[in-house]
Structure 1
Amino acid sequence: MVVWTSAWLHGAAASDDVLDALHPWADAHEVRAADADTAARLDLPGPDDVPDGPALLLAALRKAGAAGGELVLPVPGDARGLDGATPFAKHAMRHGEAAVLPEARIGLVPHEVADGVLRWTVFGLGELAPPEHVPIGEAEHGMSSAMREAASTLTDLGVAKHRPNVREEIARTVASRPTPPWPQNAPQRALRVLQRASEVEAILWVATDDSPGGALSASATRARTEALRPLFDAVRSARRAAVAEMVRVLAGQAGKH
């Protein structure tokens, strides 16, 4: 949503391309404003109205003067990209992801409301801190470093263990993630970083799944959690940096035409 709407707002993609790119994530997408004021400002269905489709959201973004988006991936203890203790921030934290369009003061939070149905709730935003810029190279290096450190720490703690068919488990986890199309001129490095982040996340989920061998002791579980937390953070940072790089490059290319 962040990449494609930004490309569309800069004239680097058609609206139909944006709508088509949403399909891998859900069979149907619907849109509704979080409150009556936001609904009135953007001509969107309100919280008590029947939701509408994402084409209406694109019209609302254009009307509100949106110029580009930012990806937010909040977790407890890390509220970067949010706007304080607002309904948007609470909703984004609950679902772990959101899109922010700062010029339009709009936030979008997706969540599944039924099998195959993804709802985008639209919020008006409060005061936002300046976005944190992490160069994509720095984020990529940080993810690789965190992975090496986590592997070393888990081995030292005796938490790492042999697991049959682990490569197959990781491959299945990666394959289960939707793979949406990207704009034609999306930078290849950013796409590689997103792919690598998905692979590392799959490794993390396999590493924290105790089902084949039984649960670890409480102390071992805590040690594993502490060892892996920096890697989870690095994956989130890499994803945000890759999306920001795609938005930057696509906007720059559109500006040259």
Structure 2
Amino acid sequence: MPCPSATMVVWTSAWLHGAAASDDVIDAVRTWSEVNQIHAADEETALRRELPGPRDSGAGLALLLASIRRADGDAGELVLPVAGDARGLDGSTEFSKNAMRRGEAAVFPTAGLAVVPERVAEGILRWTVHEVSESPAREHTPVGEAEHGMSSAMREAASTLTELDVSHSRPGVRTEIAANVASRPQPSWPEGVPQRCLRVLQRATEVEAILRVATEDAPGGAVSASADRARGQALRPLFAAVRTARRAAVGEMVRTLAHSADKPH
């Protein structure tokens, strides 16, 4: 579950509140891909938002930032939808379908815009810009609660897998997990964001690496269909807890940046 959308949300929100320069946003997003191309989802959006259309040559991120600024954009929101959890989406729109396919999106409700990243080639990330009419109400989860939920879900998953006898160890698993974490991009974050949020995001990345290993069969091993289903059911709450933790951390970072901007200097 790589998440360039989290980087887009936090850094663009920092820029909108005067806590970062536009170049800072572009540099931060480049952590995920050297080339980032902006395209409108359709010709009508392209015309209204002054963006390249879906079949035009892509533009750089600066054009997206300008479009958000023109629309009086404010804080962004991270969306991490999966089948059975469509929180943050707006019904059966093209945006919702695209975000569900990719598993993530950055939404800027006051600007009426949402962007969905897709890796189209090595080193190239395409951001499709959708117009959104409204942003469904979000449930606010405190970071501490989300962090606790992720830890609890991890303990419960481990216990359930052991009871079902579908957990397995394999040589070098710790090294495999560490390599998975090390291979992920390490995005930077604006100054002033809470350290706890950064710890939660790092922990979410580590748990994702564990989940990746836990859902793969050992080389040369085989898992029965029933055991595979049991494993999936045991791990599903942990996948959900990771998404909740990431959304909570990003949301708190954005709120902190907005609050800092509102303080008299």
TM-score normalised per structure 2: 0.95
What CA deviation, in whole Å up to 9, does each residue of 1:82-129 have, x standing for no partner? 000000000000011100111111110000111100011000013332
Structure 2 unpaired stretches of 5+: 1-7
SS in 1 for 2:84: coil
Change (3 A) 1:220 1:241: same
TM-score with structure 1 length normalisation? 0.98
Question: In the TM superposition, what is the alpha-carbon distance from 1:213 to its structure 2 partner?
Answer: 4.2
User: What's the counterpart of residue 154 of structure 1?
Assistant: 161
Verify the 8 A CA contact 2:170 2:218 in the aligned structure 1: no
Q: Report the counterpart of residue 48 of structure 1 in structure 2.
A: 55
2:134 matched residue in structure 1: 127
Partner of 1:235: 242
SS of equivalent residue, structure 1 residue 155:
helix
Give 1:134 shift.
0.9
1:86–1:126 contact (8 Å) kept in structure 2: no
Q: 1:213 to 1:153 in 2, by over 3 A?
A: farther
Alignment of 1:166-181 (within 5 A): 166-181=173-188
How many residues align structurally?
257
Please report the RMSD computed on the Cα atoms of aligned residues, expressed in angstroms.
0.9
Q: Distance in 2 between matches of 1:215 and 1:255?
A: 57
1:197 and 2:195 aligned = no
- 1:255 corresponds in structure 2 to 262
Give the Cα–Cα distance (whole angstroms) in 2 for the partners of residues 180 and 223 of structure 1: 35
Return the alpha-carbon distance in structure 1 between the equivalents of residues 219 and 121 of structure 2: 30
* Secondary structure in structure 1 of the residue aligned to 2:31: helix
- Per-residue CA deviation, residues 163-193 of structure 1 (Å, 9 max, x unaligned), is 1111101100101110011101111000000
Amino acid at match of 2:109: P
Q: What's the offset of the Cα at 1:48?
A: 2.4
**1:182 matched residue in structure 2:** 189
Identity between Structure 1 and Structure 2 (%): 67
Name whichever of 124-133 and 239-248 sits farther off: 124-133
Q: What SS is found at the alignment partner of 1:244?
A: helix
C-alpha distance in 1 between matches for 2:43 and 2:72? 20
Deviation at 1:52, TM superposition (A): 0.6
Question: Secondary structure of the residue that 2:12 maps to in structure 1?
Answer: helix
Task: State the AA in 2 paired with 1:19.
Answer: I
1:26–1:117 CA contact under 8 A, matched in 2:
yes
**Which residues of structure 1 form unaligned runs of 5+?**
none
